[in-house]
Structure 1
Amino acid sequence: MQQIFAVFLSFTCYALANAFFRPYCQENATCVRGCSWVLERYFNGVANQVLPDNGYRNLTVPSLAMCGRECLMDDRCFSFHYSKGEMWCELNGATASRYPMDLIEMEGMFYYGPEEPKLVKLLASGNKTGIPSLTDCRYQTHGSVSPECSKTGQHLCLKWELDHASKEGYPATPLSWYADPDSQAVLTETGVTYHDLPLTAPSPGLCCSLPMTYRDPVITPQSYDLADRAGQARGCSDLAAHPCTLAELKEAYDHGYRGCLYWGYFATPNRDARVDGCTHHKDDECYQGTIANTPRPATHKRVYCCPNRT
């Protein structure tokens, strides 16, 4: 296991950063820095690791603390690299927690970021599969953070992905956006808690790219008109999913998923389905003896969405 380091910043530097960043955090309503993170007195470091292609400024400084001070004084800086032998300091515009798969090994270099020590250890172990990334900026709305995840080929995390991350020991997070547009989530040491809107403080987003095999369907939080196929598809896309096929609903049923007697739209137009056995349905209204589906749907329903697989 690579060694974990921390650099202590003096109170004077901390006070300077507090005075420098607080107006920025209050004034920028679209994308604000993680104020509670940049004001921490510690940067946690990973030996022999760097986050390439994110540096924007190189300096020669006599100490690690001076490099950390330069980062705190620059509102573009989210993390930094430092080489003691060369007294070389590089300020980065991103963090390893935002781009966990980009962290690479480089002898003699140290990555320093605001991540909690537990996450730094997890990143340093090289086992980055299933680690959500937390956006470096905070956003006022669910809609504004989703494109930020898309920039790196990720999606806002689904509930099951957050549950998976929590079970894998992902450290605590601030209140964050995830796939459900009407809720926010907090990862804790004991699980995930969800909070309903409205919320007023800007929040980061949790982005996921976990390779998917089978996962339970999710149901869109809003309903759609029967003829609004494009809206139904967009509703599923917002959940990193697509309208389920009957085969996928059958697979879910075989894995123990039940739709709680809920009828919803799915991939076949002008029909609805229920994942709870056929009961009184038969023939073409009972798919493989398990999934009831009818050509008599209501005109306004929610949609069964199946997570995209990679």
Structure 2
Amino acid sequence: MLFLLLLLPMSGLVTEAFFGSHSRGCSWGLERYFNGVANRVLPGHGYCNLTLPSLAMCGMECFIDDRCLTFHYSEGERRCELNGATASRYPMALIERAGTDYFSPEQPSFAELLTNGREVPIRLTDCWYHTHASAASECRRTGQHLCLQWELDHASKEGYPATPPSWYADPDSQAVLTETGVTYHDLPLTAPSPGLCCSLPMTYRDPVITPQSYDLADRAGQVRGCSDLAAHPCTLAELKEAYDHGYRSLYWGYLATPNRDTRVDGCTHHKDDECYQGTIANTPRPATRKQVYCCPNRV
């Protein structure tokens, strides 16, 4: 795969004049640049077509236009098309077109994932934000959510490219994907950052446990706690599936079945109706306040 790298050096003063604030409330990093993927385009998102003699001039037009997130350039036709979307937002939409190249701030390794036909589990927001709430709002606007820690761990294992410090589900920290895993950084951070947005998982994922505890009778609160994790209270069948995938937990917590608690570590001291399928211990004697086993939603 041929990658074309276009660097547009500008003084900090000029860059700040262009990108200190956008009409959409976005703020790019001052080191904005474009990576290119040969013979690929992102159709349907262009808003301006220009005839320009060079790739550099096309890139400059995009650089100074706060609507422009990516662009196409055809050297043979000298055709420059400015786009209002990125392939990271529409990962399956990047298609082949001989003689025209796609350019964006996305990292080359991300573009390689796209052109290899792989579905990327997460995306960076097109804009950079000073607050967690703003990044979360951008993810929700596109039908996603700020990634949870286990989703970032999964994305790292799947080869998602390195990222700058980015907002994720925890409002008190930022995450960085690296070649060796995920690192987390405590706030405060003063520079604007992108958000890491995740789609609902389509395959098995381990359960997660709510950070908060809930009263036994507060079923609505238990459901909301799981919903904040893009999940729902686990059923016994889902916990059995998790056990079969190797998941273990000695912690007793609530589940989807009312007025019972459970743990995922076999049924050493439980039997009959307190041992689901010989595997998942669950009792009708729960404490009055516990955390909840949440199973990630699937689509």
TM-score by length of 1: 0.84
In the alignment, the residues of structure 2 paired with residue 46 and residue 121 of structure 1 have an alpha-carbon distance, to the nearest angstrom, of 8
CA shift for structure 1 position 137: 1.8
CA shift for structure 1 position 197: 4.9
Render the CA deviation track for 1:65-124: whole Å, top value 9, x for unaligned. Answer: 111111111222221112223322222222222332222222322111112222223323
* 1:105 and 2:104 aligned: no
| AA at the equivalent of 1:56 | Y
> Bigger shift: 106-115 or 207-216?
207-216
* 1:249 and 2:248 aligned: no
Q: Residue 137 of structure 1: which of 116, 122, 127 is its match?
A: 127
| AA at the equivalent of 1:33 | S
**Distance of aligned partners of 1:160 and 1:275 in 2 relative to their CA distance in 1, 3 Å threshold:** same
Q: Residue 193 of structure 1: which of 178, 183, 198 is its match?
A: 183
Write the mapping of 1:280-299 to structure 2, written as runs, cut at 5 A.
280-299=269-288
In the alignment, the residues of structure 2 paired with residue 210 and residue 72 of structure 1 have an alpha-carbon distance, to the nearest angstrom, of 33
CA shift for structure 1 position 180: 4.0
CA contact (8 A) 1:130 1:209 kept: no
Runs of 5+ in structure 2 lacking a partner?
Answer: none
CA shift for structure 1 position 19: 2.9
CA shift for structure 1 position 173: 0.5
Write the mapping of 1:193-232 to structure 2, written as runs, cut at 5 A.
193-197=183-187, 199=189, 201-209=191-199, 212-232=202-222
In the alignment, the residues of structure 1 paired with residue 137 and residue 248 of structure 2 have an alpha-carbon distance, to the nearest angstrom, of 32
In the alignment, the residues of structure 2 paired with residue 85 and residue 79 of structure 1 have an alpha-carbon distance, to the nearest angstrom, of 19
- 2:155 maps to 165
Render the CA deviation track for 1:223-255: whole Å, top value 9, x for unaligned. Answer: 333333233223222322211101111121222
Write the mapping of 1:1-310 to structure 2, written as runs, cut at 5 A.
1=1, 3-11=2-10, 16-22=14-20, 24=21, 31-36=25-30, 39-40=31-32, 42-125=33-116, 127-197=117-187, 199=189, 201-209=191-199, 212-259=202-249, 261-310=250-299
TM-score by length of 2: 0.87
CA contact (8 A) 2:122 2:198 kept: yes
**Distance of aligned partners of 1:169 and 1:213 in 2 relative to their CA distance in 1, 3 Å threshold:** closer
RMSD: 2.7
**Distance of aligned partners of 1:9 and 1:198 in 2 relative to their CA distance in 1, 3 Å threshold:** closer
In the alignment, the residues of structure 1 paired with residue 86 and residue 50 of structure 2 have an alpha-carbon distance, to the nearest angstrom, of 19
**Distance of aligned partners of 1:155 and 1:104 in 2 relative to their CA distance in 1, 3 Å threshold:** farther
**Distance of aligned partners of 1:290 and 1:130 in 2 relative to their CA distance in 1, 3 Å threshold:** same
| AA at the equivalent of 1:80 | F
| AA at the equivalent of 1:292 | A
Aligned residues with identical type, % of pairs:
74
In the alignment, the residues of structure 2 paired with residue 141 and residue 16 of structure 1 have an alpha-carbon distance, to the nearest angstrom, of 25
| AA at the equivalent of 2:105 | P
In the alignment, the residues of structure 2 paired with residue 183 and residue 217 of structure 1 have an alpha-carbon distance, to the nearest angstrom, of 22
CA contact (8 A) 1:263 1:274 kept: yes
| AA at the equivalent of 2:6 | V
CA shift for structure 1 position 295: 2.7
Number of residue pairs matched by the alignment: 299
**Distance of aligned partners of 1:99 and 1:46 in 2 relative to their CA distance in 1, 3 Å threshold:** same
In the alignment, the residues of structure 1 paired with residue 276 and residue 189 of structure 2 have an alpha-carbon distance, to the nearest angstrom, of 43
Look up the SS of the partner of 1:108 in the other structure. Answer: coil
CA contact (8 A) 2:130 2:193 kept: yes
Look up the SS of the partner of 2:206 in the other structure. Answer: coil
CA contact (8 A) 2:73 2:81 kept: yes
> Bigger shift: 136-145 or 78-87?
136-145
In the alignment, the residues of structure 1 paired with residue 98 and residue 125 of structure 2 have an alpha-carbon distance, to the nearest angstrom, of 27
**Distance of aligned partners of 1:140 and 1:227 in 2 relative to their CA distance in 1, 3 Å threshold:** farther
